[in-house]
Structure 1
Amino acid sequence: MNEDDQKPSAEEPDKASKVKPTAPQKPAAVVSQSRWPLWLVLLVSLLVGGLAVIAALHAQSARDLALNNQQSLNNALAQITAFEAQVSAVPERLTQAEDVLNKQLEDGLQDLQKELSSAAEQHQRRVQNLEDSLTALHAELSQPQRDWQLAEALYLVKVAAHRLEFHEDAPAAQAALQAADGVLRGIGDPRMIPAREALAEDIQALENYQGVAITDLLTALDDLMTDVRPLPLKMPEVSADDPEVAVGGSPPDPDAAWWSRQLQQLWQEVSQQFTIRRHAQAVRSMPDAEAEMFIRQIIALRIESARMAVLRRDQSDFEAHLTRAASLLEDYFAASPVSDILPRIDALRAQSLHSELPSLKQSLSQLQALED
């Protein structure tokens, strides 16, 4: 380096003295240090804001989680309450189930006892039939009249069917079936068991058959005839609206003779005891003794004819005779006592003379098969 460059010239002090002094400048490091806290504050603010947002999000999540947990807890409490109610109802349900089970067991035991009893009776009957058959086995070989006995049993069953169908005589039909069963029991053949079982069923059906109470119906007709006989006849009916005409004449004339006035006064007193009525229609007079007897005999004949219709089981004839008897009672006898008789006649007329009869076809078919 040249010395000229190192040594300042003489003019430099002068230039330096002429330059105005300026304010001292801060170093660059000092300026940069004064600007750094602003960025730091901004960064910290951003960090704090982010942390606040994150904290808010976490708080919201925590609240949602708490709400969900509370709802789950409430649901769990509700389930626990329902479970406790179910648990508390378990003893009552168990009691009800126990009652139902006991009832079913009792019914089942009763049905089983009935079935066992019926099976035991049937088995006992079969055993008894077999014993009778074995006992009479030797006698069967020495009985050439077996066919006659079967024919007799079949005839008895036909008699029972005839009495039941045409006369509805259940006791007679039952007696005939019992006699037929006795004949088959005397034969002692095991092949007769189905026929005897059919007879036993028909006999039981006849025992349970009620039928029509013919005796009670005939007794009611007899009582009706007894009550009808003393009924009084109907009196002629006079309408209160028919005009009345007095019979009496004019009062006595005071100027007439004394004997004429006496006759007129006597006639006036006598005429006051009589009244003349003029009717729009002819009034039916009471029948005489002969006609009354004839009417009563007709009513008695109608009731007796109804009684015969009961014995014949003729429903239409029975109703017709009772209807005609009721009509005669209304026409010729007093209304007050007849009003008590007519409901009885209507009740009798409403009764049926027929009922469903038991069928004996099973017994007939079994015996006919044995005879063939």
Structure 2
Amino acid sequence: MTEYDVPERPRPARSLWRALWLWTLLLALAALLGGGGYAGWQFWQERQATEDIVAAQDTLLRRLSRQLGDAGAEIQQLRQRQGDLAESARRSTDLVAALQGRADDADATLARINATIQGGRGRAQLLAVEQLLLIANERARLARDVPGAIEALSLAQDRLGSLAEPKLFPIREALAEERSRLEALPRIDLEAAALTLSSLIRRAPELPQRSRAPTHAAVVDGEPSRDITPEASGFWARGIGSLRQMFGAVFTVRRTDKPVDRLLPPEQERLVGQLLLLKLETARAALLTRNTATLRATIEDAAAFLNDYYRSDDPTVLGARAELDRLMTLDLNPQLPELGRSLGLLRAYLDATR
């Protein structure tokens, strides 16, 4: 070390500690400020959430208040209705009581009437049975209504059975016999027969008609006859023969077993169809009026018409013919049994017990 060298002074330790303390103070202040800002932000967020919750609860409270008001009004209306129903129930009770009194009075009146006519009840029942027997005879004889007559006889049997009178057994036996005879009659399904004829009328225009082949052409082995007689030896005869040979080479008449279409004029075909429809309509009218003779005659005429003018080998024609054959067997007016025996026995019993 020379005399010019200045010795280095050591820094005092107090300055170092002061700097450290300042830095620590600054850091603490910064941390305090940051924590306060974060706490303030958290507080602001919680306050906003609380305000939203309070607003929602306030809205809910107002809604509940309105609903409670409406419920109170409905409760008031229900109470009013309950009062009206109670009043109506009271009036109904009074009305039922009044009706019960009237019913009791009516029962008493009927009891007196029943006691008065007790002796004539059986005769009234027998008179009703007589009317039923008259109705059965009328339905069977005049209206040809066999089911209606059977129903009337059945009602008469029930009324006689309710009397439980042994002296009426012969009448009941006659009734049972007459009813069994009516039930044994063949049942005619007029509706089904009428529907069959309606179906035939609807399908009649579609049935194929038979074509008529000309009968004036002479055919030999499928070729037209062009023979010249030995007597034809003159000039005119040879000319006529030449013309025959020329036309024979141009026109050929051949035999065929298949029907040829549209050989009848359209006017005749339409006339044939109209006539068939007229016959079928007449048959349906006879069926509905229960005219067996007219029905059978008309159906027979229609079947012959089908044989003459329609193709007998066509399935639709064969089906129509089969349906007509089934309708031919219908008997619209079967012989009805005698129904007067039970009525005569009943009238004899009424005269004897008068």
- TM (norm. structure 1) is 0.45
- TM (norm. structure 2) is 0.46
